[in-house]
Amino acid sequence: MKKINFVLVAFAIIGFLQSCGGNPDSQEKTTVPPVTETPKASPNGIGEVETVTLTDPMEESMIVSGKAIYEMKCAACHKLTDQRVVGPGWAGVTNRRRPEWVMNMITNVDVMLEKDPVAQKLLEECLTRMPNQAVSVGDARAILEFMRKNDMETIGEKDGATK
C-alpha cells in the first residue's frame, strides 16, 4: 500500500512537472494516469512502426551503425547487461518486447509514455521519462539490430517476443 501511494505521488509530481514544459503536442494533456484502469495493450506499441521484418543472419552494417547511435544517444541510461541504471538494461530486450514496440518506444516515446501501458509501467519503475532522442525510424531499426546482436552475446537467444 505504501508503495502504491509512493508511485501515485511520484506520478502526480512527474505529471505536474512535465506539463510545465516539453513537447506541447504530447504533454499538454498529461495528468495522473489512473492506476486501476488498464487500456487495451497492443504488443506493437503505438506509433508509425507497424511491421518489422527480421532477417537471419543479422545485418552487419545495421549492427555497426546501431552500436554507434547507442553509444552516442542511449548508453548514458541503458547498459548492455540486465542491470537497470536510469533505464532498463538491454540484455534480452528482444525476447521481452516485439520489434515494433521497441522501435515505437524509441521514435514515439512521448506518446508511448502517455498511452502505452507497458511503457507506463516502466516509467513507474524508473521514474525518469525516457527522452526523445530524435532518432529516425531507420536509425531505430539499426538500434534494434544491435539489440538482437547484444541479446545473442548476453543471453544467447533473440527475438523471443516474436515467437
- Percentage helix, strand, coil, to 5, in the chain? 55, 0, 45
Report if residue 21 touches another protein, rule: CB under 8 A.
yes
Using the minimum distance from each CB to another protein, give the nearer residue, 42 or 133: 133
Binding mask 104-123 for another protein (x = CB under 8 A): --------------------
Report if residue 128 touches another protein, rule: CB under 8 A.
yes
Binding mask 134-163 for another protein (x = CB under 8 A): xx----------------------------
Size of the site for another protein (CB under 8 A): 23
122, 128 Cβ separation under 8 angstroms: no
Of the candidate residues 73, 137, 155, 162, the single one contacting another protein (CB under 8 A): 73
Instruction: Give me the sign of the Cα torsion angle 42, 46, 49, 50.
Output: positive
Report if residue 8 touches another protein, rule: CB under 8 A.
no
Q: Least separation, in Å, of the C-beta of 100 and another protein? A: 22
Of the candidate residues 127, 137, 155, 161, the single one contacting another protein (CB under 8 A): 127
Q: Least separation, in Å, of the C-beta of 54 and another protein? A: 26
Q: Long-range contacts for 123-128 (Cβ within 8 Å, ≥24 apart)?
A: 123/14, 124/7, 124/10, 124/11, 125/84, 125/88, 126/84, 126/86, 126/87, 126/88, 127/10, 127/14, 128/77, 128/86, 128/87
Peptide bond before 131: cis, by omega within 30 degrees of 0? Answer: no
What does the binding site for another protein look like in residue numbers (CB under 8 A)?
A: 10, 13-14, 17, 21-23, 71-73, 75-77, 85-86, 127-129, 131-135
